[in-house]
Structure 1
């Protein structure tokens, strides 16, 4: 699986880029692993990726079952938050050395099978720090893994640092279920559709809450009428100089702005 996935990175950009008239959406379900009820997410279409928390009671089992469905598996890496929240076991923190970060990531990869990429769980502090992010990206590069920036802070440097180290990278456009209300989640899904129609591609992150899963089962079939395709997260990976320049510009524009309240 890892070898086949790594071959994607060798394809020319023109092959990986979505045609202008093709609208695509990818959805990642975060926080998989703590609850037995997370297995309800296995009923979602197989294009929906699972991002699994390491060192959790059901993480390894659910990752294996999801992979058997031909679903893509990501590692949901706990990272330090500005707000001092507890990210959970195996968290990457700002006081770690490079070796400690890489050993911690290796232990997580060893715990969760079939991983093809990672995204951050919390991390509003750590993703703003270039050095820990550089150490993280070195590990990803060495292990043929991509990075999805959950964007828990708009000041995140993670995506830009990933591009500096040649790590394939993406970022989420919105969270579907910041509020556990079906009407809110449905409106977020409709916003996802509009973003995809405007930009060509859009990535959403959600969680295995019963209300979220209920809305997804109801709304995912509506993508076809909007001529939007639900795709595997890896199919959206693009590497280009223009992406790196856009990310760098965004970071510079925000350097002198007041800090926002971090989401996680």
Structure 2
């Protein structure tokens, strides 16, 4: 009987200790199951890189005819004012590869893309090839192109939207925007005459964008003049964003002119691979944000890339729309 009285407290203590031990073990198992290690430094860097705009934004000057040779590498020291941000080539490829391999999250309910083709009309053969692409593109014609009224009439008949690609002064003095150019500090009467000549070059357009213009689009006085004329004609403005410090959007907003800005340049590098990767970037931005505005040029690689890519949009749930449906 005495032995039983001694063992009973011992047995009770053992049971308590066993229960405590079991609780500790179960707690550790739950912690291990729920624990997720923080992202590594490499993953964090990749996420940050994806958020950057890695595609340069140069002024484009068409030649007659446009060259199909790859663009030469630019010296970063020469283009400080041109908004061409230098990147190591492997960094660009790594970021684009990350974009291509990452899962697509359909955040936008009605994703749309605008494809603008600049420098239209000068290279007649390639401009005609652009017109033959599926309807719904927005084509920006240079006002000094030959036989411009016939070219633009055919483009409109094919179902494309028309813009005037207005030559504006670039930062670089070595680039030639064309015979009649809007310039900073220009006499107001001369400025108005050049702008009106460009806008009177052909009919059927509903807006304009800047050809080059990395200097002019930084000047509030000049852009206010442009917006006053656009307001009087009920036209929209697309900022090609050839420089980060552009005030075009601000001046358009003040004047009550519908406007939007370019997101992606498709063919800064004249290769099929670059165009393909740029189109993938356009897709992802549209699916994420609901809208992506891209600008390309009448180059063989761009034409072929669009010919293959445009028919795939419907199955991806993406709508091709003209620029007039993207401005606000």
TM-score normalised to structure 2 length: 0.65
Kindly provide the CA deviation profile for residues 174-193 of structure 1, in whole angstroms up to 9, marking residues without a partner as x.
Answer: 11000110011000000000
- After the TM superposition, which of the residue ranges 47-56 and 102-111 deviates more from structure 2? 102-111
Tell me which residue corresponds to 1:55: 144
Tell me which residue corresponds to 2:215: 125
The alignment of Structure 1 onto Structure 2 pairs a total of residues equal to: 220
Gap regions ≥5 residues in structure 2: 1-106
2:172 to 65, 68, 83: 83
Larger radius of gyration: 2
SS of 1:111's equivalent in the other structure is coil
Tell me which residue corresponds to 2:119: 31
RMSD, matched Cα:
1.3
Q: Does structure 1 residue 42 correspond to structure 2 residue 42?
A: no
For residue 98 of structure 1, report the CA deviation from its aligned partner: 2.5
Asked if structure 1 preserves the Cα contact closer than 8 Å seen for 2:169 and 2:213, the reply is yes
Kindly provide the CA deviation profile for residues 14-62 of structure 1, in whole angstroms up to 9, marking residues without a partner as x.
Answer: xxxxx95100001011001112212111111221011000111143221
Asked if structure 1 preserves the Cα contact closer than 8 Å seen for 2:108 and 2:287, the reply is no
Tell me which residue corresponds to 1:247: none
More strand by share: 1
Kindly provide the CA deviation profile for residues 122-178 of structure 1, in whole angstroms up to 9, marking residues without a partner as x.
Answer: 000000010000001000000111000000001100011110100000111011000
For residue 96 of structure 1, report the CA deviation from its aligned partner: 1.2
Tell me which residue corresponds to 1:107: 197
Asked if structure 1 preserves the Cα contact closer than 8 Å seen for 2:108 and 2:288, the reply is no
1:155 to 223, 227, 245: 245
- After the TM superposition, which of the residue ranges 133-142 and 59-68 deviates more from structure 2? 59-68
Q: Which runs of 4+ in 1 moved over 3 A?
A: none
1:116 to 197, 206, 221: 206
TM-score normalised to structure 1 length: 0.81
SS of 1:115's equivalent in the other structure is coil
Q: Does structure 1 residue 67 correspond to structure 2 residue 156?
A: yes
Kindly provide the CA deviation profile for residues 80-118 of structure 1, in whole angstroms up to 9, marking residues without a partner as x.
Answer: 001111101221011312322222111112112212100
Gap regions ≥5 residues in structure 1: 1-18, 239-264
Asked if structure 2 preserves the Cα contact closer than 8 Å seen for 1:174 and 1:204, the reply is yes
For residue 233 of structure 1, report the CA deviation from its aligned partner: 1.3
- After the TM superposition, which of the residue ranges 102-111 and 156-165 deviates more from structure 2? 102-111
